[in-house]
Amino acid sequence: MSTVAGGVVPDAKPLTKNEQLKIAIPTLAGTIAATLADPALDAFSADDEQFLKFHGIYQQDDRDRRKQGKVHIMMIRGRIPGGVLSAAQWCAFDDLSAKHGNNTLRITTRQSIQFHGVAKSGLGALMKGLNQALVDTLAACGDVNRNVMAAPTPANSRAREQLYEDAVRVSGALLPQTRAYHSIWLDGVQLDLDAAENKGFVDPLYGRQYLPRKFKTAFVLPPVNDMDVLTNCLGFIAVVEQGQVVGYNLAVGGGMGRGHGNNATYPRLASVLGFVPREKVVEVSKAVLTVHRDFGDRTDRKHARLKYVVQERGAEFVRAEIEQRSGVTLSPAREFVFTTTGDTYGWARAVDGSAYLTLFVSMGRIKDSEGHQLKTALRRIAERFPQVEFRLSANQNIILAQIRESDRSAIEALLSEHGVRTRDQAGVLHSAAIACPALPTCGLSLSESERYLPSLLTQIEGLCQEIGLKQQEIVIRMTGCPNGCARPYMAEIGFVGKAPGRYQIWLGGNAPGTRLTRVWKETVKDADILNELRPVLTRYAAERTPGERFGDWVERVLWKDLPAAAD
């Protein structure tokens, strides 16, 4: 029998390779520092690839260049609780992307920033540069709590700032305690793998084996569900009274990942278990995390998410475990309503009187292109207006906050000079869409996403104009594989890569982010997507009720006509 945090596992189902690695080296040090210091090596070992994830790093290669030989590159993801950066920190990210990456910054769907194209030779300098800017990458990936998300838009009350404060508290409370991160990236020292400290290390929260898989946390401020909170392992839905956060409705067990042809894996919406007073969020967060730690599947990583524990053991079981572990009795959930998952673009005013500006970022990629020098424009703003905050949205956009009214016209002019509009920033379908990076860097990707979706959206916009749906918003999301990083299973139209140039099409999510999609077409060639969508969008244009969105029409009409497709 094999012993794990939650009990024993029959020998018939051995622990996964990842679990064995964590048992052997619980400090997560691997041989990372030794490899980093060896200029003769251009890549890390397969075992170290798994440890690197806990340090916020994925080892990848440029798949466009594989015919010329495999060239290893790194993707590095920042830990940015609530997605808030100072102007100085933004400049640091900008500098490091130019010096060590591919001179772009990628805003993620979890309010972080990713560097792409970093060679091993530049990795150490990049990590030190982030630390000097008071940013780290610890636990941005790996079998731990990932970047904690929080509603980024300045609100019309104190509530948003309180929600952000709570997200930062939870992020700090759920960090792993190993000193390997600082030893490797700041001191350049390889921990002795045979030392008692390494062999005997047990993280006070995570235990010796950490979590069975990743754990995701988000805070959201209704009625806007811009965090897609029900897709997270742990979600806090703010309850506001007289402009103050008094507590949160607790949502547990959401997740997007699934596998093609594997019916044991599926997307799931989190279950709302009850109400938590604001002062108890840390205790409850730790309790939910340890439920995953102790009951998650350590024999099958595809079945290792918290959502399967909630689905298979039941919400009542999980609620009882949370209450016993936290010492907090959950009261009945308070009423809440979501209206949208989207961002509102353009200028607005915060409760403190300052201005803020939400800018559309196509597919989350901050870069300079002909006629649209977004990366340079943002750098100039950060240099000239050091009080400005750079806030990242879960829809891969950026919010410039804390803008003085006296600076507004100058910022507007600077953006215009670089081809960045603040009004009518993008077409209606582009504005609501998100995509994962996919090819050429993601090793899991089966098809294109970021590089393909913009042109597909333009084609769909043309179709919509032709059939009478001009300016009708439809939430469209695409991923290059079924893991669902861009949350396609919550979109009104979701495209999920199956093979090069081939996609599943999912339909029927809703604007508030409270309903999952269902498979409409199992496999469609990219060249056939527009022809497949034409009849269903034409029916929607003719049959919709006043104000009815596409996803709601699909749920009301299409699934009733096509019950087999909905199964």
Using an 8 Å Cβ cutoff, are 268 and 494 in contact? no
CA distance 480 to 496: 6
In whole angstroms, what is the distance from residue 31 CA to residue 28 CA?
A: 9
Angle at 322 between CA 289 and CA 219, to 5 degrees: 60
* SS3 category, 77: strand
Q: How many CA atoms are closer than 13 Å to the CA of 74, on its beta-carbon side?
A: 28
**Closest to 133 (Cα-Cα) out of 75, 181, 90, 74:** 90
Helix (H, G, I), strand (E, B) or coil at 131: helix
**What DSSP character marks residue 101?**
S
Q: 179 φ, ψ to 5°?
A: -90, 5
Residue 213 DSSP label: S
Catalytic residues: 77, 146, 214, 216, 436, 442, 481, 485
Reported in sequence order, the residue ranges of 320-460 that DSSP labels E, i.e. its strands, are 346-349, 355-359, 365-366, 368-369, 372-373, 389-392, 398-403, 434-435
**Between the CA atoms of 171, 172, 176 and 178, what dihedral angle is there, to the nearest 10 degrees?**
150
Terminal-to-terminal C-alpha distance of the chain: 39
Distance CA 464, CA 390 (A): 34
User: Quick check: helix, strand or coil at residue 398?
Assistant: strand
What does the longest C-alpha to C-alpha distance in the chain come to? 71
Helix (H, G, I), strand (E, B) or coil at 64: helix
From CA 156, how far away is CA 540, in angstroms rounded?
A: 36
Q: Rounded to whole angstroms, how far apart are CA atoms 191 and 197?
A: 9
Per this entry, what is the length of the chain? 567
